[in-house]
């Protein structure tokens, strides 16, 4: 019985000792933790909160005291041993705060811990090591297009805003004496999460021939003409009436809806939150979760950047372009099928708006269907497209010259074309939708036009 008591006390002492020794080496669980990832464009902090240090020290002291108390009953001896042990720990922490080799730290990828202690250089050393891995992968072409796009966002942000190397991010004292910046953002799907200097990043992007410019917008020239606008079939809604003749001047319209790849460049350099892709993918898919205000702001930015005036189409221009000289429900005729557009074809169809598991099917990459007579893609379905006009519930006072309606409910704006979850009737060339100008959702996107 006495043996079991001694054995139990010994095992408990060992556990307390190990926990007390390991505590300072584990990531801080309180308050800020070892760093706060923040949002894109905001500082990242690598210094443990002072309260973390105090809490961890107190816990360690308490556990060590219990350990020594189990071994000896003399309070003075226990007190002195605890003080000596904590003093040794503080000395080790001070040593750890000095620059050390990055090789001394284990890699998270190997599923072992990095001893963060409370030193700043140790953690930064690890981050610099990861940053160097980023640059090496970039040079060797072993990095995905999505990761390159994330790196380009950072480079473009600095260039567009003409920032100095250390502006915009927290300056960190690197063990090699150079300022370093965070370039890994897991919010963007970037997997490495490390630090490199801005200069190194830009130079490596150039060497690797990475294209950090915004994807170009293919514009289609739409000829001048006139057409009957509105519900030509007599089966439409009240807001599609009365049918009226409209004259249209020649203009150019983007061949597809504006994509995430095109919009993300703008959002990145403007320091805006990236619109949510709902898990359906970015790249060549139409940008969604953008408001009418967002679309107008993008057009203004693109105009300033390219020296060409971009804007949203007027409602009349949009319907004229969608019809492409036709008077049928859709630009290809009066019937619709799943091979024609992205829409809700019903539960029994191949283009039902839900997948078998109940998740939303979502958008399709732009250009997935055949063009209309003007060469425009996806004018029916995929996403409903914002246009300039203020919403009015009829065409009673609609302009006859193709200009936008600027009276009425301007807090609400018109959207046209129907979306991936829309009933076929919402995809009619004459069909009208309406949304709050300041609100974006997963059903709406936009395309741009230029005056000729």
**Could you tell me if residue 313 is inside a domain?**
yes
Give the model's confidence band at 135: pLDDT under 50 very low, under 70 low, under 90 confident, else very high.
confident
pLDDT at 211 over 50: yes
- Residues 23, 86, single domain; the answer is yes
> What pLDDT score was predicted for residue 72?
64
Q: Say what angle helices 260-269 and 145-161 make with each other, to 10 degrees.
A: 40
Is 63:16 a contact under the CB 8 Å cutoff?
yes
pLDDT at 131 over 90: no
- Residues 63, 164, single domain; the answer is no
Element (DSSP H or E) covering residue 227: strand 225-229
Question: Per-residue pLDDT averaged across 250-256, rounded?
Answer: 97
> What pLDDT score was predicted for residue 283?
87
Residues counted in the chain: 452
Angstrom distance (rounded) from CA 371 to CA 386: 20
Give the model's confidence band at 306: pLDDT under 50 very low, under 70 low, under 90 confident, else very high.
confident
The DSSP annotation for 202-268 comes to HHHHHHTT---SPPP--EEEEPPEEEEES-SSS-S-GGG-S-EEEEE--EEEESSPPBHHHHHHHHH
- Residues 70, 134, single domain; the answer is no
Mean pLDDT of the chain: 75
Residues 6+ apart with CB under 8 A from 141: 208
pLDDT at 192 over 80: no
Q: CA 259, 449, 416, 423 torsion: positive or negative?
A: negative
Provide the token pair at 235: 């089966």
Angstrom distance (rounded) from CA 433 to CA 447: 16
Domain that holds residue 75: 2-104
| 448 or 49: which leads in pLDDT | 448
- Residues 277, 392, single domain; the answer is yes
- Single out the residue in 148, 172, 207 at which a domain terminates: 207
Angstrom distance (rounded) from CA 433 to CA 426: 8
Count CA within 13 A, CB hemisphere, residue 254. 25
> What pLDDT score was predicted for residue 356?
87
**CA 10 remoteness from chain centre:** 53
> What pLDDT score was predicted for residue 174?
28
| 268 or 433: which leads in pLDDT | 433
Angstrom distance (rounded) from CA 352 to CA 354: 5
**Could you tell me if residue 226 is inside a domain?**
yes
- Residues 237, 197, single domain; the answer is no
Is 53:118 a contact under the CB 8 Å cutoff?
yes
- Residues 169, 294, single domain; the answer is no
| 266 or 6: which leads in pLDDT | 266
- Residues 328, 251, single domain; the answer is yes
**Could you tell me if residue 214 is inside a domain?**
no
CATH code for the domain of 310: 3.90.1580.10
pLDDT at 339 over 70: yes
- Single out the residue in 104, 124, 139 at which a domain terminates: 104
Question: Per-residue pLDDT averaged across 80-91, rounded?
Answer: 67
What are the tens digits of pLDDT across the range 417-430?
Answer: 999 999 999 999 99
Provide the token pair at 447: 């395309």
Angstrom distance (rounded) from CA 401 to CA 314: 11
Strand order in the sheet with 219-222: 219-222, 251-254, 449-451
The closest of 220, 226, 182, 224 to 201, measured between CA atoms, is 182
**Could you tell me if residue 109 is inside a domain?**
no
Task: State how beta strands 179-182 and 195-196 pair.
Answer: antiparallel
Number of alpha helices (DSSP H) and beta strands (DSSP E) in the chain: 9, 12
**Could you tell me if residue 250 is inside a domain?**
yes
Question: Per-residue pLDDT averaged across 272-288, rounded?
Answer: 90
Strand partners, 435: 413
> What pLDDT score was predicted for residue 341?
96
- Residues 69, 165, single domain; the answer is no
| 50 or 366: which leads in pLDDT | 366
Strand order in the sheet with 195-196: 172-173, 179-182, 195-196
Is 140:117 a contact under the CB 8 Å cutoff?
no
**Could you tell me if residue 212 is inside a domain?**
no
3-state secondary structure 212-225: CCCCCCCEEEECCE
Angstrom distance (rounded) from CA 28 to CA 205: 35
Give the model's confidence band at 396: pLDDT under 50 very low, under 70 low, under 90 confident, else very high.
very high
Angstrom distance (rounded) from CA 29 to CA 19: 15
Across 47-164, the runs of DSSP E, i.e. the strands, are none
pLDDT at 315 over 60: yes
pLDDT at 130 over 50: yes
pLDDT at 164 over 70: no
- Single out the residue in 56, 76, 104 at which a domain terminates: 104
Is 385:257 a contact under the CB 8 Å cutoff?
yes
| 126 or 200: which leads in pLDDT | 200
- Put simply, whether the predicted model's pTM sits higher than 0.75 gets the answer no
> What pLDDT score was predicted for residue 157?
67
Is 150:144 a contact under the CB 8 Å cutoff?
no
Question: Per-residue pLDDT averaged across 232-246, rounded?
Answer: 94
- Residues 155, 276, single domain; the answer is no
Q: Is the peptide bond before 309 cis (omega within 30 degrees of 0)?
A: no
- Residues 181, 63, single domain; the answer is no
Question: Per-residue pLDDT averaged across 445-449, rounded?
Answer: 98
> What pLDDT score was predicted for residue 77?
65
> What pLDDT score was predicted for residue 295?
97
Q: What is the largest CA-CA distance in the chain?
A: 104
- In three-state secondary structure terms, 409 is strand
| 399 or 159: which leads in pLDDT | 399
Question: Per-residue pLDDT averaged across 122-140, rounded?
Answer: 64
> What pLDDT score was predicted for residue 245?
97
- The listed range with the strongest mean pLDDT (2-11, 22-31, 395-404) is 395-404
- Residues 314, 360, single domain; the answer is yes
pLDDT at 351 over 80: yes
The closest of 129, 141, 20 to 69, measured between CA atoms, is 20
Buried b (16+ CB within 10 A) or exposed e, 74-109: eeeebeebbeebbeebeeeeeebeebeebeebeeee
The closest of 294, 284, 264 to 188, measured between CA atoms, is 264
Question: Per-residue pLDDT averaged across 110-126, rounded?
Answer: 34
Angstrom distance (rounded) from CA 450 to CA 253: 6
**Total domains present in the chain:** 3
> What pLDDT score was predicted for residue 258?
97
pLDDT at 366 over 50: yes
**Could you tell me if residue 110 is inside a domain?**
no
Is 357:365 a contact under the CB 8 Å cutoff?
no
Provide the token pair at 224: 């001048």
pLDDT at 376 over 60: yes
> What pLDDT score was predicted for residue 177?
27
- Residues 252, 358, single domain; the answer is yes
> What pLDDT score was predicted for residue 146?
66
């Amino acid at each position: 019985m006495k043996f079991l008591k001694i054995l139990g006390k010994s095992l408990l002492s060992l556990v307390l000792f190990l926990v007390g020794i390991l505590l300072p080496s584990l990531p801080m669980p309180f308050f800020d933790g070892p760093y706060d990832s923040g949002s894109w464009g905001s500082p990242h902090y690598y210094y443990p909160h002072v309260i973390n240090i105090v809490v961890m020290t107190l816990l360690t002291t308490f556990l060590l005291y219990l350990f020594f108390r189990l071994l000896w009953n003399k309070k003075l001896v226990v007190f002195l041993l605890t003080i000596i042990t904590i003093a040794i720990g503080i000395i080790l922490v001070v040593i750890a705060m000095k620059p050390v080799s990055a090789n001394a730290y284990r890699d998270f990828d190997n599923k072992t811990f990095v001893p963060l202690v409370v030193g700043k250089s140790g953690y930064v050393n690890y981050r610099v090591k990861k940053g160097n891995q980023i640059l090496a992968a970039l040079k060797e072409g072993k990095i995905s297009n999505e990761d390159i796009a994330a790196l380009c966002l950072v480079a473009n942000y600095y260039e567009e805003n003409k920032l100095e190397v250390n502006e915009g991010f927290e300056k960190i004292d690197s063990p090699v004496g150079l300022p370093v910046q965070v370039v890994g953002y897991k919010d963007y799907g970037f997997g490495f999460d490390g630090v490199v200097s801005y200069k190194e990043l830009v130079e490596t992007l150039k060497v690797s021939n990475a294209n950090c410019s915004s994807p170009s917008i293919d514009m289609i020239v739409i000829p001048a003409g006139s057409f009957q606008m509105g519900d030509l079939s007599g089966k439409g809604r009240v807001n599609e009436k009365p049918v009226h003749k409209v004259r249209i001047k020649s203009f150019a319209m983007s061949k597809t809806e504006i994509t995430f790849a095109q919009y993300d460049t703008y959002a990145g350099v403007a320091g805006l939150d990236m619109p949510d892709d709902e898990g359906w993918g970015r790249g060549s898919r139409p940008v969604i979760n953008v408001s009418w205000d967002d679309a107008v702001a993008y057009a203004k930015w693109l105009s300033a950047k390219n020296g060409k005036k971009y804007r949203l189409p007027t409602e009349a221009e949009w319907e004229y372009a969608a019809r492409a000289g036709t008077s049928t429900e859709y630009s290809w005729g009066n019937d619709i099928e799943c091979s024609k557009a992205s829409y809700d074809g019903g539960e029994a169809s191949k283009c039902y708006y839900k997948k078998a598991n109940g998740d939303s099917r979502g958008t399709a990459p732009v250009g997935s269907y055949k063009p209309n007579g003007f060469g425009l893609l996806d004018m029916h379905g995929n996403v409903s497209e914002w246009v300039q006009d203020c919403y009015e519930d009829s065409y009673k006072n609609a302009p006859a010259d193709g200009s936008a309606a600027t009276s009425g409910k301007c807090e609400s704006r018109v959207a046209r074309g129907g979306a991936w979850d829309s009933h076929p009737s919402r995809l009619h060339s004459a069909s009208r939708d309406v949304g709050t100008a300041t609100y974006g959702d997963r059903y709406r996107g936009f395309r741009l036009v230029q005056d000729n």
